[in-house]
Structures are given as structure tokens and as C-alpha cells.
Amino acid sequence: MKVAVIGVGVLGACVGWNLSRLGAKVIFIDAGRPGEGVTNWSFSWVNASNKTARKPYFDLNVAGIAAYRELAGAIGPGSWWHPSGHLRWADDPAELLKTADLLAAWDYRFEVRTGAEVRRHLEPAVAIPDEIPVLFYPDEAWVHGRQLVGSLIRHAAASGAEHRFGTAVREIGANRNSRTVALSDGTHLDVDVVVNAAGPSASHIAGLISRRLPMRREPGVVTRLSGAQVPVHRAMHAPHIEIRPDGDASVVLHSREIDALIDTGEDPAELARRLHEQAQYVVPELSNSRIAQTRVVERPIPTDGFPSVGAVPSVPGYYEAVSHSGITLGPVIGRLLASEIVSGKRDELLADFRPERFGP
């Protein structure tokens, strides 16, 4: 079976790697460079504690965390995998503790620490009130998305996968038993299956086969700081700001509150300055770092906020892998979708997230 994976962010890389393990002949296609789309501009927090809106979605994210541990076992943990847990605290802890009650009822692991304990045992550089309750999620992690994508492509290539990078998919046609993918470099590929993993451009790719995949607009802004030293050891949600390490000399910042300013027309450089300012209230040592890069990106979110994963029965040979929380969900979606493509069997875990809910 020959499969064209369109888009090589975390979702395309996970689907393609799993397909190549199952013996499919994979061709990765990306208009740019692999892993440099949203995947490179994500807060990249692997979690289910923030996914309590619906139980099936929570369960899928729990499976996502488990799939990361399997993935690290299969390809080696490398510098992409950081299973250091997650810290979360808030100005008003009542809401947080209410969520904790729900998580406890769903058997999700967490510990309640005080600010003083966190400073003493986990994060000495964090300025946090002594008595404030802090939730520590020991099974959560952060991921270096670009490095993960690179590692998956190398492993898939060792099993015979090919790639076409720097060339965009322009058209998708159908012959009797196959699909033809036309690329912007003028070449054509004949394949049995196409996988739409084009992130924020997924509805455009769906349009090439006359399918409507409705997506909503929800931009986010992410800033990378560089500095001599990284004063934090894990990803954390502090009041008004999210902070995580991003390797040996870099820190990533994000905030939903600052995202809300994107559409006011505020200059991204000003948004980055505000992120840096908020971060310094929480980690004063970050005043020694400087803003290195800032990017405003679109989240790849179907209109109802949930993933669109699987076959579209009315379009033979076409599958979707489109999701927000794609960092958390990449490995589990990759495993389930690859198995569905090769065996034709649909997994119950994806029952609520099927593409056909948006119509044929």
C-alpha cells in the first residue's frame, strides 16, 4: 500500500512512522520543512488535566500520554522527550481544586503541594507564595516538537519512507483505484491513500477533494527567550503565563490572555514584551534573558473544538488527522489511524472524533 502523508508536523510524522512500521510505503510531503509549522510554535504540554470538557476527549488524551511512553521506548527518548511532570497554580485556587476533584474521580494522578514545597524540591527559581496550593501532575510532560518530527522521519526513512519537502500539494485527483497527488514542483504521485495532516491548512486540502472540513480561527502567540541559563526544569501554568524550558539555552512563553489581544491589532513584538514581563513576575531570573523569536500561528481546530480523525466513507482512499492538542494526541492518533488505514478496523477511542460528523 502506497500512502501520501500531506503535512509533516507532529500528526503527519506520527501517522507516517506508524504506517511505515506496518509495512506501508510512505511518502511524506510538506510545503515547507518538517516540524516547522504549528508544531514548532506550540506550548507542547503533554497532558489530560486540561481536557476535562468531555470524558471521551479526556480518555483520548490519557491514551495520548501512554502512547508517548511507548513511543519513547520504540524510538528512544532523545532530546525531544521531557517527562518531568507539570505544575499549575492560580490566583484563586478554588476553580483549580474543583477540577482536581473531577480528575481524582477519573483516577488521574496529581499531588497537591504548597508553594514553599515546590520551591524547596522542584523549582527553586520560581517566586510563588509559600502557602498557595500547587497541583503537580507527575505523568505529564513537554515535548520538543521539531526534534520529535525529525526523529520519526529518520526512523520511517530507515523502513523505506520517502519525502518531498519544500513542495506543496496543489491537486488531488482520482483514478479507478488510486489517487493522484499533484505537487507545486510539477511532479505527480500515484498512491492508494492520502492522509490530510496539513494542520491549519487542512480545510484547504479537504477542499481539493470537494470535502468541507469546517475549522475555526483561534490564533496563538508564542515567544522564545534565549539566555545563558534556563532557570526552570519543567512546564508550568502560573497565573497569567505558561513557561517551559525549550532545550539548554531557551525558554518558551505562552498565555491565553495575551492570545486574546492578537485580534486587537497589537504588534507581535509588544505581545512578546508582555509575555516576557509576566514571566519575570514568576521567574525573576528571566530578566537576564532576551526575546529571541515570536510567532503568531493558527491552531488547527475543527469548528466543534475536537479532532477529526479517520476515513471519510464517501471519499475512498482519503483520511484526516486534524487536531488541536496535536502534541498530546499525535502518537495515539498516529497509532490508531495507521492501524485503521492498513486493517480497515475502526477503534472505539476515536468514535466521537470521526470526520463524517461534519457531513459527507
Ligand X SMILES: Cc1cc2nc3c(=O)[nH]c(=O)nc-3n(C[C@H](O)[C@H](O)[C@H](O)COP(=O)(O)OP(=O)(O)OC[C@H]3O[C@@H](n4cnc5c(N)ncnc54)[C@H](O)[C@@H]3O)c2cc1C
Where along the sequence are the contacts to ligand X (CB under 6 A)?
Answer: 6-12, 29-32, 36-39, 41-45, 168-169, 197-201, 205, 220, 222, 254, 297, 299-300, 323-328
Please give the backbone phi and psi of residue 340, each rounded to the nearest 5 degrees, phi first: -65, -40
* Cβ 269 vs Cβ 285: under 8 Å: no
Q: Which residues contact 105 (CB under 8 A, 6 or more apart)?
A: none
Q: Which of 5, 144, 12 is nearest to 78 (CA)?
A: 144
| Least Å from the CB of residue 355 to ligand X | 14
Closer of 10 and 161 to ligand X (Cβ): 10
Closest separation in Å from C-beta 30 to ligand X: 5
Q: What are the cell numbers at 347?
A: 477503534
* Residue closer to ligand X, measured from CB, 145 or 231: 145
Strands (E), 7-110: 25-30, 45-46, 81-82, 86-88
Nearer to ligand X, 296 or 342 (CB): 296
- Closest distance to ligand X from the beta carbon of 224 (Å): 12
Q: How far is the CB of 129 from ligand X (least distance, A)?
A: 25
Can you tell me the distance from the alpha carbon of 195 to that of 206, in angstroms, rounded to the nearest whole number? Answer: 10
Question: What's the rounded Cα separation, in Å, for the pair 125 and 300?
Answer: 34
Residue 9 and residue 149: Cα distance in Å, rounded?
7
d(CA 232, CA 262): 27
Of the pair 10, 236, the CB lying nearest ligand X is at 10
Q: In the bound complex, what is the minimum distance in angstroms from residue 41's beta carbon to ligand X?
A: 6
Q: Name the minimum Å distance from CB 253 to ligand X.
A: 10
CB 153 within 8 A of CB 7: no
Q: Which three cell numbers stand for residue 286?
A: 528571566
The residue behind cell 502512547 is 67
Nearest distance, CB of residue 329 and ligand X, angstroms: 7
In the complex, residue closest to ligand X by CB:
9
User: Is the Cβ of residue 20 or residue 101 nearer to ligand X in the bound state?
Assistant: 20
Looking at beta carbons only, is 41 or 89 nearer to ligand X? Answer: 41
**CB closer to ligand X, 289 vs 294:** 294
Which residues make beta-bridge pairs with 235?
86
Measure the CA dihedral 47/116/243/300, to 10°: 30
Among residues 36 and 352, whose Cβ is nearest to ligand X?
36
How far lies 353's CA from each of 11, 14, 250, 339, in Å? Answer: 15, 18, 35, 16
User: Smallest distance from the beta carbon of 144 to ligand X, in angstroms?
Assistant: 12
**C-alpha cell recorded at residue 74:** 520504540
